[in-house]
A = this chain, B = another copy of it.
């Protein structure tokens, strides 16, 4: 693997801490929840209240939507950002939203606590550098067919601009399988533990594209060693303007959060038994 000095795992083996609101990503388990798109002030407000109640610590919602066709719903734009911000403030949650254009980085950074760079822009190097200069934490999704090495190269672009706060997000890669929207690469999450100090979030909603698979895949991701989850939640998934098949209802999300907490507790216990961060420890002894 090429030299990427800023992203590579530190000698002390520690994960980088990234404070966002009251949560410290990398230390606290981060649950990012909310609708695929911000569709109206009521929709995002209702979702914010419910995901906060269920235990989410960051609110998500797309205002600028990257769509394969120019005729699909493109998001509410600046209005969406305002709705999202207001909903976050109302319930006391920091917010994350995607930025698509270098020229929008500063405007989006005014509203968002974390900038999201989506799969289609993972190698939009201008956007990476601009986000790097924004001063805001950046969540970098893996490209649709990107290798781990390319993904880390993109993270290095952000860090090289003076921004140490990069969060990686595994959201599935393309394969021959079509039953699921993508193929959720949980082994990449575990592999990143061997390669980088950056925290890693898992997005089972985009990885599978099927709401029915999100609960089990969330728990799978926890056992792979992820530092958080990003889950799509919509008050009424079937009416969603985008990604209707993969969003959970607030009730399903609340049930999932109960399982998430129990699974995290077990993971904590296993790590304590094996000594500081068991998954990494065993990787070091057993690996190549």
Interface residues in chain A, defined as those with a beta carbon under 8 Å from any beta carbon in chain B: 2-4, 66-71, 100-104, 120-121, 123-127, 144-150, 153-154, 156-157, 160, 173-180, 183-188, 190-191, 193-194, 204, 207-208, 210-217, 219-225, 245, 248-249, 252, 255, 258-259, 262-263, 266, 269-270, 273-274, 278-279, 282-288
Contacts and interface: CB of A to CB of B under 8 A. Distances in A.
Contacts of A150: 68
Contacts of A279: 215-216
Contact of A149 (B68, B190, B212, B283): B68
A285 B238 CA distance: 13
Given A68-B149, A153-B69, A156-B69, A213 B191 contact: yes
Contacts of A4: 69
A212 to B, nearest CB: 3
Given A102-B101, A125-B66, A187-B184, A148 B179 contact: yes
Given A100-B126, A121-B123, A184-B186, 16 more contacts: A3-B69, A69-B153, A100-B125, A101-B102, A101-B126, A120-B125, A148-B177, A148-B179, A173-B177, A187-B204, A187-B207, A190-B217, A212-B287, A212-B288, A220-B223, A249-B286
